[in-house]
Chains A and B, each alone.
Chain A
Amino acid sequence: MIAVQGLVKRFGSKFAVANLSFEVQEGRVTGFLGPNGSGKSTTMRCMLGLDRADAGQSFFGGRPYHELERPLHQVGALLDAGYVHPGRSGRNHLRWLAASNGLPTSRVDEALATVGLTDVGTKRVKTYSLGMKQRLGLAGVLLGDPHTIILDEPANGLDPEGIRWIRDVLVYLASQGKTILVSSHLLSEMALMATSLVVIGKGQLIEQCTVDEFVARYGDHWVRVKSPRATTLVDALRAGGATVQAVDETTIEVHGPNAAEVGELAARYQVTLHELSQQTGSLEDAFLKATAGVQEYTAGGVR
């Protein structure tokens, strides 16, 4: 388990992370979400002791990171796939990482094979694509078979096959009981692999809950109705205070009452229904709603 307690990090007078506390449970993928500039990467660097936190602490299995003797055996972290010397081969990059934690070279070859880079392991990293660097970074994470994994935007630069691969890897590792914290801007991907979320904005915790709870709390909910007598139903729904949007002549979307209430109303008016389904908004919609007030950078509208 990861526990972050009262983390504070200032750059000058600006608070990048402001008294942030959260926990990451084992056996699940936890998404770490926040708008650009919300402090996700800074938080991760502080957790690993790379940036000096002004206050607060992070614990991995109850111990601060700097107290871990051979941390790669316990925590695997990939903060940026670009943190590699371009003149060094991928294999040599992993060799020094492995050596620093007493891991044998055989683990390097196993990790390269796991991420599919065996054939290019001896090539210099400057010849790698961004996707290959991501795979190399993930090989570094897996070197020590750690119980806790921290990844910052691991899908960056990966093609669809690579994105699916990393999702499958993380879901599999979580099923093995590992603790996984992963940040990503690909919210559709996050919806597929994460079961829990830590959402931050301007360095502060906005929400920590399961994905389902988050979407239920912040996402839109409506009822989709298909009926040959939709017009009759619209009048009845509006009279009851519901908001109704017509999709086409026979299909409407009802905001306000739930599916059961709409069904009972339809029965009362003897309106035949061809479809009655409860709809829920996406994680992306929920995220945008939850972070609407804490966006560091917002784009102008498209004309």
Chain B
Amino acid sequence: MPVPDSDVAALETIALDKRYRRVHALSECSFSLPSGRIAALAGPNGAGKSTLMDLIAGIRRPTGGEIRVLGTSSRSFSGIHPDVSYLAQRKPLYRSFTVEEMLKAGHKLNDRWDAEYARRLVEQAGLTPKAKVSTLSGGQRSRLAIAMALGRRPAVLLLDEPLAELDPFARREVSHALLDEVRNQGTTVLMSSHIVADLQGMCDYLLCLVSGRLVLDGPVEELLGAHRVRREPDLDGAAGSTVSPVVEAAPASPETEWRAPTLEELVLSRMAPPPHGTYVRAVSS
């Protein structure tokens, strides 16, 4: 894995645009993700998360704009950028292969493949080399798929709904294993999910897409600090209940009835279609 230059963004998009015939899937999407960050890519279904992932992974071509990985334009490569690895939501693994054969496939298909590292990740996951992929549990398949993605020694790891279809125990196990590894390796991660609760506590950077447009972009702490949830009476006027309208940018002089939102509240507030807005339920006092 190349050593990232701290001055160069690990992943940068400039006015990225994608159209599917008449549908605008992604519009003028620009962001700059610093190296070593674990970024959440949030947004409702159909917001353009998978399209953005596909474009960065080189599976689809952008209609306009540019993608840069460690300062190198993705246009220089016909497929995926060599410093990017992609783990799709369905955990693409050949069912008839054994774990060992999957690792061999990774080795055969990649110019840069760390066989020792991939094997260590598989061993840490407790996977038997001779076990068939079809016999693995959901959590085990996820661990193998992560090993396959990290075996390329990427500078940027793209994870599309990595915890989807996993039970709560497997979610915790997989997310811990994944985060430990990418933090140790200094890998930059872009992780998509429409379940914001999955992202809370895992990510230190947030990108939020709504209807193909980037509506939030920045470090999580900064974004949360810049917003407040306002407590107000229930829409029905019931006493004691606290239903707050959309999270708003923090006012210059904070008032007592304002508090910092959670990541989930912040993201949900941006998913609301105008003009009604999304009402975020705040904690009752």
Do A and B originate from a single complex?
A: no
